[in-house]
Structure 1
């Protein structure tokens, strides 16, 4: 959909839209283009990081057929992205999940959902930073010890903080570099491995190679769902920076959709390339190769080529951590701007020089560093920590989808510049059904280990939800922001249509 308006007219329309929602729109600089917004979402979703982080774990868990989880999850999350596109087009404000759930349902609902989502993002930042340790160790030719993982993770978090403090221009620039690294590392290398270095038949994608032992493979396959579920969130980051994007009501929905499509194809190509090029695929599935990606790279590219590619991979990890940290800080800022958190005045402070939420960025760095020390003490918990992050993300996502469906049933017809029209209800129901199944798979306990090992994801969720409910009941933070609307999707849609009609008449 083209926009025939002049830049000044478009800027005035964006300002009027924000003011109609109860925000001044003066806190951020609108310096992020469509390409930069796609880059931010793509580097947050980061197929390269997703594939590299869980390649060995997922193959050992479910064998080569786990690649089909990329297709399944990609299709499901595409439906979610369509719903998010409608919502952000009507509510193009910073913070994403929080303002969306507030305006679609209410303050209490939004507070609880956002509390869960904040922790999900903070834990995800930690997981990605931790997974980067193995690649730094391989590049430097040193053993991948717990100490190396801790130092690397903290280093990635501090480096991302420095970039984020430099402002939106720097965030966009590094995100574009990260996108280039992702495309080079995923598509270019994936094609090279598929065409020139294939060591296995395509039939392996239908061969479990003994994964799961004597158990029915269908159950084994369900247990390996994390292989796909970890790869397909991050597109919502495109909406977290809505007040920093030009023409957000049109560009952000497009950016979300393109992030899913390009990210899904990239992840599929990369995962397939590594499986088909693995000279020791049986050992990887058996769990006898602790660093399969490096070994595949060395056998396919040689020593120098593998080192160069590890530099590309580490660049992608830096960009992913940067995007996650930026998205988390915007959510914390949006939450604090409405005085919904302890220390809201401090958390909502903006850097006058760089127009970024400086104190929220500090929190988005310090808390993951603390979690890194937990992973250092209990390194075997990293996959479960990752599982908690993914589950909490899916809960937040489906809270938006559920709230949107509730408003539709009450008569809401999205009034943003981008919407699904008559297909909205069908897509909304399908997205919710997909999300419920995904959450069941994520919370399903493991089959081995102690009680804590099997239920740590559910226990972590109960702790986060319990502390959130306790604070909400005692402090009642949801009562602190009467000036901003809640549950007003239908009313805002009507207002936007009237504004659009008045503007048309003035022409």
Structure 2
């Protein structure tokens, strides 16, 4: 995989089109147009995390990302739990993104987005991504690059068109809440709206998941992670700006009178034919996003299985001699999300409960690494990779962890309480359930004792003793 192929993998995983288009209505409804500044704030916070990850991956450029990093920084148990949480989060996110794509695929095909059609489209998307991934890393790199170009090109073309031909406001609206959050301090409305940034700005860690498939990863992967933040953040900001300026009645969205402003904006701005062309670009974004998510999940499963700590490790760690990819791990990254999507046919609530864990699980996986890195620093770890922050390492690490804790609190706190505590706290409850299952398996099967891969060796021997 080339450097730009690596950037494309991270970018299409982050996918500003998927993130912004999916959450624009919710965020605008919560906080009004000033919600756009959340993209800047969250982008900075995640840049801090990317810098910490850059130092870690430069030291340990191995497949699997968060699992081997946390294992080397802290130890076997921490590595197992981080790998477990993140693997579940990735598999659930694949299902979530694929299910969300159904609302765009259906109108493109001239169909009504019924539950059955949405599930069928989601399954077809997962199967397509799996088949593409099974063809090998080179094709993954090419498709990711196509996804990056299509998404960036589409974002620029659509954004410029809307700003020129469908603009209804000037830049002053970016400081006008249009009544959002009335009756309580605006901070709370902005915090809820900030979820659009929190849910968008992850994916850059995927650059490190394929570290063993890149030349000179100690230099290229940290740079690719930061480049993903820069390009993805700029694209996300521009998409959001153009949509805000093209929203005819922002107040109606804030009051909840317009449920799907994105479709209305695109349909009015481009007409029936142009709207379908835009949907094709959006569909490419969804395909490349699922493709990148699957690649990350399969490399994580492979990395854990290579150390013998997953059920069926022998099969999961097997590499195709022809395509040089973990075939069984990729199939698992296809089958499990399909099963999750099928749950919606039995119970829409069941699907909601499961995918509510997705983004929080990502952040938990991130910041278990950030916390492990901070602990290792305080015990004497000195990053010795080709990317190092030197004296800035400790303060950046502390700020990154503080940012992550605030972000996770914002994700679990109910911003629109219903009065039903299970519904209000489902994100936290689902996370606790995943952690509990992992702990039970860890106590019973003791998977962390298997394998002889290095663990906890970032900390100097004297400190470990």
Give your verdict on TM over 0.5: yes
Deviation at 1:217, TM superposition (A): 2.3
Maintained 8 Å contact 2:379/2:460: no
Q: 2:208 aligns with which of 239, 242, 245?
A: 239
Question: Cα distance 1:194–1:385, how it changes in 2: closer, same or farther (>3 A)?
Answer: farther
Q: Distance in 2 between matches of 1:245 and 1:375?
A: 38
Q: Distance in 1 between matches of 2:460 and 2:329?
A: 31
Deviation at 1:284, TM superposition (A): 2.6
Which position in structure 2 is the counterpart of 1:477?
447
**Which shifted more, 34-43 or 301-310?**
301-310
Which position in structure 1 is the counterpart of 2:253?
284
The C-alpha deviation readout for 1:190-226, integer Å capped at 9, x for no partner, is 2332344311232222222233353332212222332
Q: 2:117 aligns with which of 132, 135, 148?
A: 148
Q: 1:453 aligns with which of 410, 417, 423?
A: 423
Q: What is the TM-score of this pair, normalised by structure 1? A: 0.87
Question: Cα distance 1:207–1:455, how it changes in 2: closer, same or farther (>3 A)?
Answer: same
Deviation at 1:384, TM superposition (A): 6.1
The alignment covers a number of residue pairs equal to 460
SS at match of 1:350: coil
Q: Distance in 2 between matches of 1:380 and 1:46?
A: 26
Q: 1:202 aligns with which of 167, 171, 175?
A: 171
**Which shifted more, 451-460 or 440-449?**
440-449
SS at match of 1:132: helix
The C-alpha deviation readout for 1:251-284, integer Å capped at 9, x for no partner, is 0001000000110011001011011112233333
1:468 aligns to 2:445 (yes or no): no
Gaps of 5+ in 1: 1-31, 493-507
Deviation at 1:377, TM superposition (A): 4.2
CA RMSD of aligned residues (A): 1.7
Deviation at 1:380, TM superposition (A): 6.1
Q: What is the TM-score of this pair, normalised by structure 2? A: 0.95
Maintained 8 Å contact 1:47/1:267: yes
Which position in structure 2 is the counterpart of 1:373?
342
Maintained 8 Å contact 2:341/2:351: no
Which position in structure 2 is the counterpart of 1:63?
32
Maintained 8 Å contact 1:39/1:176: yes
Maintained 8 Å contact 1:56/1:287: no
Maintained 8 Å contact 1:123/1:368: yes
Deviation at 1:312, TM superposition (A): 0.7
Which position in structure 2 is the counterpart of 1:6?
none
1:125 aligns to 2:94 (yes or no): yes
The C-alpha deviation readout for 1:345-393, integer Å capped at 9, x for no partner, is 1211212221111111111111111111233444467676554211111
SS at match of 1:489: coil
Q: Distance in 2 between matches of 1:185 and 1:145?
A: 27
Q: How is 1:91-106 mapped onto 2 (pairs within 5 angstroms)?
A: 91-106=60-75
Which position in structure 2 is the counterpart of 1:135?
104
Which position in structure 2 is the counterpart of 1:436?
405
Q: Distance in 2 between matches of 1:82 and 1:163?
A: 31
